[in-house]
Structure 1
Amino acid sequence: MLYGKLKEYRALLTFPSLTEALGAERVFSRYECPFATIPTPIRLRSGCNTALCFPLERKEIIDDLIDDGVVLTGMYEAREEGFFSIVW
């Protein structure tokens, strides 16, 4: 079941560390892309307990994150049925 901003935004990024999540926040702010910091869903945890969700229609920002050197452990589309990898 989806909750909070994840229900509205539908795109989710996970990170290996809090440092990477904070780096992603800076990129989102720089490009004025709305986002929310949320706890990483239990089934997706692999290091960092902080994830970022943002509007799925803005998924092109993933290129900017990668260009900025932010390390991601996963990129997902959140649906009521679960989380599905975004192939990049």
Structure 2
Amino acid sequence: MRKTLKLIVAFPTTTYALKAEYLCKEQKIPGRLIPIPRQISAGCGFAWCTDIEHKDCMHTVLSQAQITTDGIYEMLL
């Protein structure tokens, strides 16, 4: 399987992860919740995975909604 560069957004709580999922779907930002990759340590165990070109949109949506993250990463998945 070929790996591609993805944007991974880790969250400190499941509540933030679910809220981010809802907002991304509402804003039509493609992606999905995934188990946190083992290379990343985060509080809730969930991360939002999307294509790298949505990085600016993610920053905007998360900051407007005041959603805290444990980090935003670019990873080959």
TM-score (norm 1): 0.75
Q: Which has the higher contact order (CA 8 A, sep 6+)?
A: 2
Instruction: State, as a whole percentage, how many aligned pairs show the same letter.
Output: 29
* Structure 1 spans left out of the alignment, 5+ residues: 81-88
TM-superposition CA deviations, 1:30-86 (whole Å, max 9, x none): 110111111101231221111110111011121111111111110000137xxxxxx
Judge conservation of contact 1:9–1:54 (CA < 8 Å) in 2: no
Q: Count the aligned residue pairs.
A: 75
* Structure 2 spans left out of the alignment, 5+ residues: none
TM-score (norm 2): 0.85
1:49 maps to which of 45, 52, 61: 45
Displaced runs of 4 or more, over 4 A: none
Q: For 1:9-88, what aligned pairs fall within 5 Å after superposition?
A: 10-61=6-57, 62-79=59-76
Calculate the aligned-residue CA RMSD, in Å.
Answer: 1.8
